[in-house]
Structure 1
Amino acid sequence: MNEDGSLYAETCDFQKQDASCILDMYSRLLKWGDGDHVMDVGAGEGSVSLEVLLPKLPTNFKELVLADVSSKLLDFARERCDDERVNYRQMDISSRTIPDEFRQHFDHIFSFYCLNWVVGVDENKRAMKNIFDMLKPGGDILFTIISSTPIYDFWENMAKSKRWENYSNNVNNLISPYHHLNNSAETLRRPFQKTAVRNLSTTTPKRSGNIPRSPFFKMAPETRRFSCRTKFLSLVLRNH
């Protein structure tokens, strides 16, 4: 895992643009109150959380918690914001336990492009359970994942090549667990079916666009344009 916060911040323009569109699209479904507690799961170095999510929150929110498995990325995020209502918590969303103080604590839980990195089936189920356990009754969840993209096929094919197989030992850790599923939306909703959570909206748009700036694409500028159709999956859920 790369924990260079400055590199993440330099190359996340696409994620910020997309997260902004998602929030604008679904904001009408979210129920805001006075003094709400908010969490962003997989916040990384904070670009989406602080530059996109935070400005769109109601001014009377109580707390925004940036959660991520990397303490180094959270330290980078901490240096970028002096809002006393913003807190930072190192945690693995797929762990077997969650902090006791977070149980039924949050009115809103967001996650942008994090859950597709939780690749194990059991780990993914635990992540979903943990998110539900942290949500207050009446609270809502909004998250987006990359469910499928030809880039994943490209990585898998590279791993089978003798030329690249020695560099592709961890390729399965890079592939979304939803990539080869026929109905990724149903699979993603399944952990919540026996709970009080109700599905408010599901969309699976496909997009193409420009790969953001990064050292690799500066070396190989002809690859900066990607025409592959990437499938995203966005869900809005409410705990009743």
Structure 2
Amino acid sequence: MSLSPHRFSKVTYHLKRVTEYAQKYFKLFQWKRNSRILDIGSGPGHLLFEIEPLFPKDYSEILCTDMLGEMVNYLNSQKRDPRIKAIQMDIQTTSLPSDLKGRFDFVFSCNSVMYWANIRQSFSNISQLMNGSGQLFFIWTRKGDVHDIYKAMNTIPKWAPYTSEFKNWTNHFDNENPTDTLKTEFERVGIEILKSETMKWPYVDEEKKNLTALFHSLDYVSERIPKSDLDKYKEDYNKLVDEKMISERGSDNKIKWIVPFEFIAVAAKKSYKDFHAFW
């Protein structure tokens, strides 16, 4: 897997809204002095730098993790508070570093959950990373639109070799009761939900090309495609992107283009009663 940090850092449509929800949800938490904070799936760090001012000023560390080395290197190269550092780690690992277990007072993640094929291993790891009074805030897109596109591309013989990991991809939370699914999976690993909701955040633009550009900024499979095939790949990719868009004529008689994104937000804490039950 490869994804350009520079290109990914241009994905900014969600920054303001995520920050607004973080402000609201952070009021639910009991913040400890000198908190140790974990950010899962930090990417290039552009969202973390938006959220960081909302954390208590006396936090002792923010450890950023990402499964991609290029993201970690990029984040560590940015001007940042010296208490912030990044390491490469896949939250789905079956070999969790022992020095990280029970270390964190707060775990944060934005738009990472939909990338985790092994939800149970990921949530088990998260529970082990939290200390006994650990808390978390996650927010992510309910529908994996780009993943759906790759799954459809996998049915096209020419692109199947480049999208093989999406052949049997399943969105764990695209169902009628995503909060119930989340509650069940959290309870398995001793995490208790404080608040959770699903909200609609449609992305609206008068220029269709701007929505297309958004999907292209999230497309890392294109970097695997030989240059000689890239134009054809983009043509097929754009056809599937078009299926994600809705056109609507406003009161001013102008056409607006809409991608109906939905997000799930959750605040939770470690459940004392089940703290030792899972490992």
Shift of 1:83: 1.7
Residues of 2 paired with 1:237 and 1:173: CA distance? 32
Residues of 2 paired with 1:196 and 1:14: CA distance? 34
- Counterpart residue identity of residue 195, structure 2: S
- Counterpart residue identity of residue 129, structure 2: M
The answer to whether the 8 A contact 2:44-2:71 is kept is yes
Residues of 1 paired with 2:135 and 2:173: CA distance? 25
1:7 corresponds to = 7
Residues of 1 paired with 2:89 and 2:64: CA distance? 10
State the identity as a percent.
16
Matched, 1:172 2:148: no
Matched, 1:26 2:25: yes
* 1:43-54 equivalence runs, <5 A: 43-50=42-49, 52-54=50-52
The answer to whether the 8 A contact 2:41-2:67 is kept is yes
Shift of 1:145: 2.0
Distance 1:55 1:5, change over 3 A: same
TM-score (normalised: structure 1): 0.83
2:91 corresponds to = 93
2:222 corresponds to = none
Shift of 1:175: 5.3
The answer to whether the 8 A contact 1:67-1:90 is kept is yes
1:147 aligns with one of 142, 147, 151: 142
Please say which of residues 76-85 and 150-159 is displaced more in the overlay.
150-159
Shift of 1:57: 1.3
* 1:10-159 equivalence runs, <5 A: 10=10, 12-50=11-49, 52-119=50-117, 123-148=118-143, 156-157=151-152, 159=154
Distance 1:154 1:79, change over 3 A: closer
Supply the RMSD in Å over aligned alpha carbons: 2.8
Please say which of residues 146-155 and 34-43 is displaced more in the overlay.
146-155
Distance 1:212 1:84, change over 3 A: farther
* 1:217-228 equivalence runs, <5 A: 226-228=257-259
Matched, 1:197 2:191: yes
Shift of 1:189: 2.4
Shift of 1:157: 4.7
- Counterpart residue identity of residue 25, structure 1: K
Give a deviation string over 1:71-104, Cα, whole Å, max 9, x none: 2111111111342111211101001021111111
- Counterpart residue identity of residue 23, structure 1: A
The answer to whether the 8 A contact 1:68-1:92 is kept is yes
Residues of 2 paired with 1:129 and 1:143: CA distance? 15
Residues of 2 paired with 1:14 and 1:65: CA distance? 24
Mind listing any 5+ residue stretches in structure 2 that lack a counterpart?
Answer: 205-210, 218-233, 246-255, 273-279
Distance 1:6 1:112, change over 3 A: same
* 1:176-191 equivalence runs, <5 A: 177-178=171-172, 180-191=174-185
Shift of 1:24: 1.5
Distance 1:231 1:214, change over 3 A: closer
Residues of 1 paired with 2:100 and 2:111: CA distance? 22
Residues of 1 paired with 2:267 and 2:39: CA distance? 14
Residues of 2 paired with 1:63 and 1:95: CA distance? 22
The answer to whether the 8 A contact 2:144-2:171 is kept is no
Please say which of residues 16-25 and 65-74 is displaced more in the overlay.
16-25
Shift of 1:53: 1.8
Mind listing any 5+ residue stretches in structure 1 that lack a counterpart?
Answer: none
Distance 1:143 1:78, change over 3 A: same
